[in-house]
Amino acid sequence: MALPTRSLRRLTRVLDFYLKSIRLENSSLLCAIKLHEHRLPRVRWSSFLLCKPNRLYGTQNVRSFFTSAALSQEFIDVEGPVFAESITEGDIRWLKQKGDFVKADELVAEIETDKTTVEVPAPRSGVLAELLVNDGDRVTAKQLLYRLKLTSEPSSSEEPIESDAHEPVKQEAAEDVPKSEAQPAKEKAKPSEEPSTKVAVPSTLKPQSQIIPLSTEGPKGQAAGITGGRTEYRVKINRMRARIAQRLKDAQNTYAMLTTFNEVDMSAIFQMRKKHNEAFQKKHGVKLGLMSPFVKAAAYALQDQPIVNAVIDEGEIVYRQFIDISVAVASPKGLVVPVLRNVETMSFADVEKSIAHFAELAKGNKLAIEDMEGGTFTISNGGVFGSLFGTPIINPPQSAILGMHAIVDKPAAVDGKVEIRPMMYICLTYDHRLIDGREAVTFLRTIKSVIENPVVMLLGL
Protein backbone atom coordinates (compact mmCIF):
# COMPACT_ATOMS: atom_id res chain seq x y z
CA MET A 1 0.00 0.00 0.00
CA ALA A 2 1.51 3.36 -1.05
CA LEU A 3 1.86 6.16 1.45
CA PRO A 4 -0.46 9.13 0.79
CA THR A 5 1.10 12.28 -0.59
CA ARG A 6 0.09 14.26 2.50
CA SER A 7 1.85 11.82 4.81
CA LEU A 8 4.91 11.80 2.57
CA ARG A 9 5.18 15.58 2.81
CA ARG A 10 4.91 15.34 6.56
CA LEU A 11 7.69 12.77 6.68
CA THR A 12 9.86 14.97 4.46
CA ARG A 13 9.45 17.94 6.81
CA VAL A 14 10.21 15.76 9.83
CA LEU A 15 13.33 14.40 8.11
CA ASP A 16 14.60 17.89 7.33
CA PHE A 17 13.92 19.05 10.90
CA TYR A 18 15.51 15.91 12.33
CA LEU A 19 18.73 16.24 10.34
CA LYS A 20 19.15 19.93 11.18
CA SER A 21 18.52 19.41 14.90
CA ILE A 22 20.48 16.27 15.61
CA ARG A 23 22.81 16.26 12.58
CA LEU A 24 22.60 12.58 11.85
CA GLU A 25 23.17 11.36 8.32
CA ASN A 26 22.07 7.75 8.83
CA SER A 27 18.48 8.55 9.80
CA SER A 28 15.88 5.81 9.82
CA LEU A 29 13.46 8.25 8.15
CA LEU A 30 15.72 8.43 5.14
CA CYS A 31 15.60 4.66 4.98
CA ALA A 32 11.79 4.78 5.20
CA ILE A 33 11.40 7.18 2.30
CA LYS A 34 13.73 5.03 0.19
CA LEU A 35 11.56 2.04 0.97
CA HIS A 36 8.46 4.02 0.01
CA GLU A 37 9.98 4.85 -3.36
CA HIS A 38 10.31 1.13 -4.05
CA ARG A 39 6.82 0.53 -2.57
CA LEU A 40 7.86 -2.35 -0.38
CA PRO A 41 4.63 -3.94 0.94
CA ARG A 42 5.69 -4.96 4.45
CA VAL A 43 6.73 -1.55 5.78
CA ARG A 44 5.22 -0.50 9.09
CA TRP A 45 4.68 3.21 8.41
CA SER A 46 3.25 3.79 11.87
CA SER A 47 6.78 3.34 13.23
CA PHE A 48 7.60 6.84 12.01
CA LEU A 49 4.96 8.67 14.02
CA LEU A 50 6.29 11.36 16.32
CA CYS A 51 6.79 10.35 19.91
CA LYS A 52 7.84 12.11 23.12
CA PRO A 53 10.07 15.23 22.93
CA ASN A 54 13.85 14.84 23.13
CA ARG A 55 15.00 16.26 26.48
CA LEU A 56 18.60 16.68 25.36
CA TYR A 57 18.01 18.77 22.25
CA GLY A 58 14.55 20.16 23.05
CA THR A 59 13.25 18.86 19.72
CA GLN A 60 10.89 16.16 18.57
CA ASN A 61 12.42 12.74 18.43
CA VAL A 62 11.47 10.10 15.88
CA ARG A 63 11.16 6.41 16.61
CA SER A 64 13.61 4.22 14.77
CA PHE A 65 12.44 2.07 11.90
CA PHE A 66 12.12 -1.51 13.06
CA THR A 67 14.12 -2.97 10.14
CA SER A 68 17.05 -0.54 10.29
CA ALA A 69 18.45 -0.78 13.80
CA ALA A 70 22.03 -0.84 12.49
CA LEU A 71 21.58 2.51 10.79
CA SER A 72 20.51 4.14 14.06
CA GLN A 73 23.89 3.43 15.70
CA GLU A 74 26.11 6.49 16.04
CA PHE A 75 29.64 6.32 14.62
CA ILE A 76 32.47 8.81 14.90
CA ASP A 77 35.78 8.95 13.03
CA VAL A 78 38.73 9.61 15.35
CA GLU A 79 41.70 11.68 14.22
CA GLY A 80 45.29 11.40 15.35
CA PRO A 81 46.85 13.89 17.78
CA VAL A 82 48.62 17.10 16.83
CA PHE A 83 52.41 16.73 16.92
CA ALA A 84 54.98 19.31 17.93
CA GLU A 85 56.30 21.71 15.31
CA SER A 86 59.48 19.71 14.75
CA ILE A 87 57.58 16.44 14.14
CA THR A 88 55.45 15.75 11.08
CA GLU A 89 54.78 12.00 11.15
CA GLY A 90 55.13 8.77 13.09
CA ASP A 91 54.55 5.01 13.00
CA ILE A 92 51.34 3.72 14.58
CA ARG A 93 51.06 0.62 16.77
CA TRP A 94 47.59 -0.64 17.61
CA LEU A 95 46.93 -1.65 21.22
CA LYS A 96 43.33 -2.69 20.45
CA GLN A 97 41.81 -4.65 17.59
CA LYS A 98 38.66 -4.32 15.53
CA GLY A 99 35.61 -5.26 17.58
CA ASP A 100 37.21 -4.45 20.95
CA PHE A 101 35.27 -2.36 23.43
CA VAL A 102 37.13 0.64 24.85
CA LYS A 103 36.23 3.07 27.59
CA ALA A 104 36.68 6.82 27.39
CA ASP A 105 40.37 7.84 27.67
CA GLU A 106 41.51 4.21 27.28
CA LEU A 107 44.57 3.84 25.06
CA VAL A 108 43.76 2.57 21.59
CA ALA A 109 47.11 3.06 19.85
CA GLU A 110 50.56 4.60 20.16
CA ILE A 111 52.36 6.69 17.55
CA GLU A 112 56.14 6.45 17.68
CA THR A 113 57.82 9.63 16.46
CA ASP A 114 61.45 10.61 16.11
CA LYS A 115 61.62 11.83 19.70
CA THR A 116 58.89 10.22 21.77
CA THR A 117 55.79 8.04 21.77
CA VAL A 118 52.44 9.82 21.47
CA GLU A 119 49.39 8.13 22.98
CA VAL A 120 46.04 7.89 21.17
CA PRO A 121 43.18 7.55 23.70
CA ALA A 122 39.54 6.90 22.92
CA PRO A 123 37.48 10.11 23.08
CA ARG A 124 34.35 8.23 24.22
CA SER A 125 33.28 4.72 25.14
CA GLY A 126 32.45 2.43 22.27
CA VAL A 127 33.45 -0.43 20.01
CA LEU A 128 36.17 -0.21 17.38
CA ALA A 129 34.15 -0.62 14.21
CA GLU A 130 36.99 -0.16 11.72
CA LEU A 131 40.74 0.51 11.73
CA LEU A 132 41.48 2.95 8.91
CA VAL A 133 45.27 2.36 8.93
CA ASN A 134 47.32 -0.80 9.33
CA ASP A 135 49.65 -1.55 12.20
CA GLY A 136 53.07 -0.03 11.51
CA ASP A 137 51.81 2.44 8.90
CA ARG A 138 53.21 5.96 8.81
CA VAL A 139 50.61 8.53 9.84
CA THR A 140 50.55 12.32 9.97
CA ALA A 141 49.01 14.77 12.41
CA LYS A 142 45.18 14.79 12.55
CA GLN A 143 44.91 11.88 10.11
CA LEU A 144 41.81 9.69 10.45
CA LEU A 145 42.82 6.57 12.36
CA TYR A 146 39.74 4.54 13.28
CA ARG A 147 35.95 4.51 13.41
CA LEU A 148 34.24 4.17 16.78
CA LYS A 149 30.69 2.96 17.35
CA LEU A 150 29.47 4.79 20.43
CA THR A 151 28.06 2.66 23.21
CA SER A 152 28.22 2.88 26.98
CA GLU A 153 28.90 -0.82 27.50
CA PRO A 154 29.75 -3.82 25.32
CA SER A 155 26.84 -5.93 24.16
CA SER A 156 26.88 -9.70 24.45
CA SER A 157 27.63 -10.01 20.73
CA GLU A 158 30.62 -7.66 20.98
CA GLU A 159 32.30 -9.25 23.97
CA PRO A 160 35.15 -11.63 23.18
CA ILE A 161 34.30 -15.24 23.86
CA GLU A 162 37.64 -16.93 23.81
CA SER A 163 36.63 -19.78 26.09
CA ASP A 164 33.68 -20.78 23.90
CA ALA A 165 35.43 -20.25 20.59
CA HIS A 166 37.27 -23.54 20.75
CA GLU A 167 34.28 -25.72 21.59
CA PRO A 168 32.60 -25.61 18.14
CA VAL A 169 35.91 -26.48 16.52
CA LYS A 170 36.21 -29.65 18.53
CA GLN A 171 32.61 -30.60 17.89
CA GLU A 172 32.88 -30.01 14.17
CA ALA A 173 36.08 -32.01 14.03
CA ALA A 174 34.39 -34.89 15.79
CA GLU A 175 31.35 -34.66 13.54
CA ASP A 176 33.44 -34.67 10.38
CA VAL A 177 35.02 -37.98 11.34
CA PRO A 178 32.99 -40.98 10.14
CA LYS A 179 31.78 -43.32 12.80
CA SER A 180 33.78 -46.12 11.25
CA GLU A 181 36.96 -44.12 11.98
CA ALA A 182 35.97 -42.62 15.29
CA GLN A 183 34.91 -45.94 16.85
CA PRO A 184 36.43 -49.37 16.18
CA ALA A 185 33.91 -51.59 14.40
CA LYS A 186 33.70 -54.89 16.17
CA GLU A 187 31.80 -56.57 13.36
CA LYS A 188 34.76 -56.08 10.97
CA ALA A 189 37.19 -57.94 13.20
CA LYS A 190 38.05 -61.47 12.23
CA PRO A 191 36.84 -64.26 14.53
CA SER A 192 40.39 -65.42 15.13
CA GLU A 193 41.49 -61.96 16.26
CA GLU A 194 40.82 -60.53 19.67
CA PRO A 195 39.19 -57.13 19.82
CA SER A 196 41.77 -54.41 20.24
CA THR A 197 41.75 -52.46 23.50
CA LYS A 198 43.21 -49.34 21.82
CA VAL A 199 40.87 -46.70 20.53
CA ALA A 200 41.83 -45.24 17.17
CA VAL A 201 42.44 -41.50 17.28
CA PRO A 202 40.99 -39.60 14.33
CA SER A 203 43.61 -38.12 12.06
CA THR A 204 42.17 -34.65 12.52
CA LEU A 205 42.78 -34.81 16.26
CA LYS A 206 46.26 -36.35 16.21
CA PRO A 207 49.09 -34.14 17.45
CA GLN A 208 51.20 -32.49 14.77
CA SER A 209 54.53 -33.24 16.45
CA GLN A 210 56.14 -35.93 18.56
CA ILE A 211 58.30 -35.59 21.67
CA ILE A 212 61.68 -37.27 21.16
CA PRO A 213 63.70 -38.11 24.29
CA LEU A 214 67.13 -36.49 24.55
CA SER A 215 68.74 -39.91 24.99
CA THR A 216 67.65 -41.05 21.52
CA GLU A 217 70.61 -42.45 19.62
CA GLY A 218 71.20 -42.33 15.92
CA PRO A 219 71.23 -45.34 13.63
CA LYS A 220 73.53 -48.19 14.55
CA GLY A 221 74.29 -46.84 18.02
CA GLN A 222 75.70 -43.53 16.82
CA ALA A 223 75.17 -40.55 19.08
CA ALA A 224 72.61 -38.04 17.92
CA GLY A 225 74.18 -35.00 16.34
CA ILE A 226 73.81 -31.63 18.05
CA THR A 227 72.69 -28.96 15.63
CA GLY A 228 73.87 -25.42 16.26
CA GLY A 229 71.56 -22.43 16.17
CA ARG A 230 72.31 -20.68 12.86
CA THR A 231 69.07 -18.77 12.51
CA GLU A 232 68.63 -15.05 12.06
CA TYR A 233 65.68 -12.70 12.03
CA ARG A 234 65.03 -9.12 11.05
CA VAL A 235 63.30 -6.42 13.07
CA LYS A 236 62.20 -3.10 11.63
CA ILE A 237 64.22 -0.28 13.13
CA ASN A 238 62.05 2.04 15.18
CA ARG A 239 61.87 5.73 14.37
CA MET A 240 63.63 6.83 17.55
CA ARG A 241 66.62 4.59 16.86
CA ALA A 242 66.75 5.76 13.25
CA ARG A 243 66.67 9.38 14.39
CA ILE A 244 69.44 8.76 16.93
CA ALA A 245 71.60 7.15 14.24
CA GLN A 246 71.03 10.05 11.88
CA ARG A 247 71.85 12.69 14.51
CA LEU A 248 75.02 10.91 15.61
CA LYS A 249 76.24 10.61 12.04
CA ASP A 250 75.40 14.26 11.36
CA ALA A 251 77.42 15.22 14.44
CA GLN A 252 80.45 13.30 13.18
CA ASN A 253 80.14 14.88 9.74
CA THR A 254 79.66 18.44 11.06
CA TYR A 255 81.71 18.88 14.22
CA ALA A 256 85.46 18.85 14.70
CA MET A 257 85.15 16.69 17.80
CA LEU A 258 87.96 16.29 20.29
CA THR A 259 87.94 14.70 23.76
CA THR A 260 89.95 15.60 26.84
CA PHE A 261 90.12 13.48 30.03
CA ASN A 262 90.71 13.81 33.74
CA GLU A 263 90.34 11.77 36.92
CA VAL A 264 88.25 12.72 39.94
CA ASP A 265 88.52 11.61 43.56
CA MET A 266 84.97 10.93 44.76
CA SER A 267 85.84 10.71 48.48
CA ALA A 268 84.37 14.11 49.39
CA ILE A 269 81.07 13.36 47.64
CA PHE A 270 80.86 9.97 49.35
CA GLN A 271 81.47 11.55 52.76
CA MET A 272 78.83 14.22 52.10
CA ARG A 273 76.28 11.59 51.10
CA LYS A 274 77.09 9.38 54.06
CA LYS A 275 76.72 12.24 56.50
CA HIS A 276 73.68 14.05 55.09
CA ASN A 277 71.78 11.56 52.92
CA GLU A 278 69.33 10.53 55.66
CA ALA A 279 68.43 14.11 56.59
CA PHE A 280 68.30 15.09 52.91
CA GLN A 281 65.89 12.27 52.08
CA LYS A 282 63.74 13.01 55.13
CA LYS A 283 63.37 16.66 54.19
CA HIS A 284 63.06 16.44 50.40
CA GLY A 285 61.65 12.93 49.90
CA VAL A 286 64.41 11.91 47.47
CA LYS A 287 67.87 10.38 47.86
CA LEU A 288 71.04 12.39 47.40
CA GLY A 289 72.60 10.74 44.36
CA LEU A 290 75.69 11.36 42.27
CA MET A 291 74.04 13.21 39.40
CA SER A 292 73.08 16.34 41.33
CA PRO A 293 76.69 17.18 42.32
CA PHE A 294 77.86 16.76 38.71
CA VAL A 295 74.92 18.76 37.29
CA LYS A 296 75.61 21.62 39.69
CA ALA A 297 79.36 21.33 39.04
CA ALA A 298 78.72 21.54 35.29
CA ALA A 299 76.59 24.66 35.76
CA TYR A 300 79.36 26.16 37.89
CA ALA A 301 81.97 25.39 35.22
CA LEU A 302 79.76 26.66 32.38
CA GLN A 303 79.45 30.01 34.13
CA ASP A 304 83.22 30.07 34.43
CA GLN A 305 83.72 29.09 30.74
CA PRO A 306 80.70 30.48 28.83
CA ILE A 307 82.17 29.48 25.46
CA VAL A 308 81.37 25.82 26.29
CA ASN A 309 77.71 26.85 26.64
CA ALA A 310 77.74 28.69 23.30
CA VAL A 311 76.95 27.45 19.79
CA ILE A 312 77.78 28.33 16.20
CA ASP A 313 74.76 29.47 14.20
CA GLU A 314 74.99 30.76 10.61
CA GLY A 315 78.45 32.20 10.93
CA GLU A 316 77.86 33.70 14.38
CA ILE A 317 78.64 32.59 17.93
CA VAL A 318 75.53 32.57 20.12
CA TYR A 319 76.26 32.91 23.84
CA ARG A 320 73.45 31.63 26.05
CA GLN A 321 73.08 33.34 29.41
CA PHE A 322 70.96 30.48 30.70
CA ILE A 323 72.04 26.91 31.43
CA ASP A 324 69.75 24.08 30.31
CA ILE A 325 71.44 20.72 30.85
CA SER A 326 70.28 17.60 29.00
CA VAL A 327 70.66 14.46 31.11
CA ALA A 328 70.92 11.22 29.15
CA VAL A 329 68.38 8.64 30.36
CA ALA A 330 67.90 5.11 29.04
CA SER A 331 64.45 4.13 27.79
CA PRO A 332 63.16 0.85 26.30
CA LYS A 333 63.42 2.35 22.80
CA GLY A 334 66.76 4.10 23.08
CA LEU A 335 68.61 6.92 24.79
CA VAL A 336 66.59 10.05 25.52
CA VAL A 337 67.80 13.38 26.87
CA PRO A 338 65.24 15.30 28.96
CA VAL A 339 66.29 18.85 29.78
CA LEU A 340 66.75 20.47 33.19
CA ARG A 341 65.89 24.15 32.73
CA ASN A 342 67.83 26.98 34.41
CA VAL A 343 70.11 24.67 36.36
CA GLU A 344 72.08 27.64 37.73
CA THR A 345 69.05 28.50 39.89
CA MET A 346 68.22 24.93 40.97
CA SER A 347 69.15 23.32 44.27
CA PHE A 348 70.49 19.81 44.78
CA ALA A 349 66.98 18.68 45.76
CA ASP A 350 65.44 20.25 42.65
CA VAL A 351 67.92 18.42 40.44
CA GLU A 352 67.36 15.05 42.11
CA LYS A 353 63.57 15.37 41.94
CA SER A 354 63.63 16.38 38.28
CA ILE A 355 65.94 13.52 37.28
CA ALA A 356 63.84 10.97 39.17
CA HIS A 357 60.69 12.30 37.51
CA PHE A 358 62.18 12.14 34.01
CA ALA A 359 63.60 8.65 34.60
CA GLU A 360 60.16 7.38 35.61
CA LEU A 361 58.58 8.90 32.50
CA ALA A 362 61.31 7.45 30.28
CA LYS A 363 60.71 3.91 31.56
CA GLY A 364 57.09 4.13 30.49
CA ASN A 365 57.84 5.92 27.19
CA LYS A 366 55.79 8.87 28.44
CA LEU A 367 58.27 11.69 27.96
CA ALA A 368 56.71 14.62 26.15
CA ILE A 369 58.44 16.21 23.20
CA GLU A 370 58.69 19.47 25.12
CA ASP A 371 60.68 17.69 27.85
CA MET A 372 63.50 16.93 25.39
CA GLU A 373 63.60 20.10 23.31
CA GLY A 374 66.35 22.65 23.81
CA GLY A 375 69.35 22.09 26.03
CA THR A 376 72.70 23.88 25.95
CA PHE A 377 74.91 21.12 27.42
CA THR A 378 74.63 17.35 27.97
CA ILE A 379 75.81 14.97 30.69
CA SER A 380 76.05 11.25 29.92
CA ASN A 381 76.67 8.79 32.75
CA GLY A 382 77.99 5.56 31.30
CA GLY A 383 79.15 4.50 34.74
CA VAL A 384 75.70 3.17 35.63
CA PHE A 385 76.33 0.45 33.01
CA GLY A 386 79.90 -0.20 34.17
CA SER A 387 81.71 1.87 31.56
CA LEU A 388 85.27 2.60 32.68
CA PHE A 389 86.38 4.81 29.81
CA GLY A 390 84.67 6.28 26.77
CA THR A 391 84.29 9.22 24.40
CA PRO A 392 80.70 10.45 24.06
CA ILE A 393 79.44 12.14 20.89
CA ILE A 394 78.10 15.69 20.99
CA ASN A 395 74.33 16.08 21.05
CA PRO A 396 73.50 18.50 18.17
CA PRO A 397 73.17 21.45 18.10
CA GLN A 398 75.14 21.72 21.35
CA SER A 399 78.89 22.25 21.44
CA ALA A 400 80.05 19.89 24.21
CA ILE A 401 79.12 16.87 26.32
CA LEU A 402 80.43 15.67 29.69
CA GLY A 403 81.01 11.95 30.16
CA MET A 404 80.92 10.22 33.54
CA HIS A 405 82.19 6.69 34.13
CA ALA A 406 82.32 3.95 36.75
CA ILE A 407 83.75 4.58 40.21
CA VAL A 408 86.63 2.22 40.97
CA ASP A 409 88.67 1.88 44.15
CA LYS A 410 92.30 2.31 43.14
CA PRO A 411 95.58 3.56 44.62
CA ALA A 412 96.06 7.32 44.55
CA ALA A 413 98.80 9.64 45.79
CA VAL A 414 97.49 11.74 48.72
CA ASP A 415 99.92 14.05 50.55
CA GLY A 416 102.87 11.94 49.48
CA LYS A 417 101.21 8.70 50.54
CA VAL A 418 99.47 5.96 48.60
CA GLU A 419 95.84 5.51 49.59
CA ILE A 420 92.93 3.58 48.14
CA ARG A 421 90.38 6.10 46.90
CA PRO A 422 87.14 5.88 44.88
CA MET A 423 88.21 7.30 41.52
CA MET A 424 86.25 8.17 38.38
CA TYR A 425 87.38 9.07 34.88
CA ILE A 426 85.56 12.05 33.40
CA CYS A 427 85.86 13.44 29.89
CA LEU A 428 84.67 16.35 27.79
CA THR A 429 83.97 15.99 24.07
CA TYR A 430 83.80 19.42 22.47
CA ASP A 431 83.55 21.14 19.10
CA HIS A 432 87.09 22.27 18.35
CA ARG A 433 85.79 24.77 15.78
CA LEU A 434 84.43 26.83 18.66
CA ILE A 435 86.20 25.69 21.83
CA ASP A 436 89.98 25.74 22.17
CA GLY A 437 91.89 23.09 24.07
CA ARG A 438 92.79 25.52 26.86
CA GLU A 439 89.14 26.32 27.52
CA ALA A 440 88.12 22.65 27.41
CA VAL A 441 90.86 21.58 29.84
CA THR A 442 90.06 24.48 32.18
CA PHE A 443 86.40 23.52 32.13
CA LEU A 444 87.16 19.91 33.06
CA ARG A 445 89.61 20.91 35.81
CA THR A 446 86.95 23.20 37.29
CA ILE A 447 84.55 20.28 37.54
CA LYS A 448 87.28 18.17 39.14
CA SER A 449 88.03 20.84 41.76
CA VAL A 450 84.41 21.40 42.85
CA ILE A 451 83.64 17.68 42.98
CA GLU A 452 86.68 17.03 45.15
CA ASN A 453 85.83 20.08 47.30
CA PRO A 454 82.04 20.70 47.16
CA VAL A 455 82.28 23.57 49.66
CA VAL A 456 83.73 25.76 46.90
CA MET A 457 80.64 25.19 44.79
CA LEU A 458 78.17 25.57 47.63
CA LEU A 459 79.73 28.84 48.80
CA GLY A 460 80.04 30.18 45.25
CA LEU A 461 83.79 30.76 45.55
Give the number of other CB atoms < 10 A from CB of residue 39: 10
Give the active site residues: 432, 436
- pLDDT one-digit tens code per residue, 89-128: 888 989 999 999 999 999 999 888 877 788 899 999 999 9
CA distance 298 to 446: 9
Kindly give, in sequence order, each residue whose CB lies less than 8 Å from that of residue 258, ignoring residues fewer than 6 positions away: 429, 430, 432, 437, 440
Give CATH for domain 75-150: 2.40.50.100
Which of 401, 407, 403, 365 has the alpha carbon at shortest distance from 386?
Answer: 407
Alpha helices by DSSP H, 305-427: 348-363, 369-372
Strands 325-327 and 377-381: parallel
**One-letter amino acid identity for 289?**
G
pLDDT at 428: 98
420: left (phi over 0), alpha (psi -120 to 50) or beta: beta
pLDDT at 292: 94
DSSP state at residue 405: E
Alpha helices by DSSP H, 305-383: 348-363, 369-372
The domain spans of the chain are 5-72, 75-150, 240-459
Residues in the chain predicted with pLDDT less than 70, given as ranges, are 1-73, 155-228, 460-461
CATH fold of 240-459, please?
Answer: Chloramphenicol Acetyltransferase (3.30.559)
- pLDDT one-digit tens code per residue, 291-309: 999 999 999 999 999 999 9
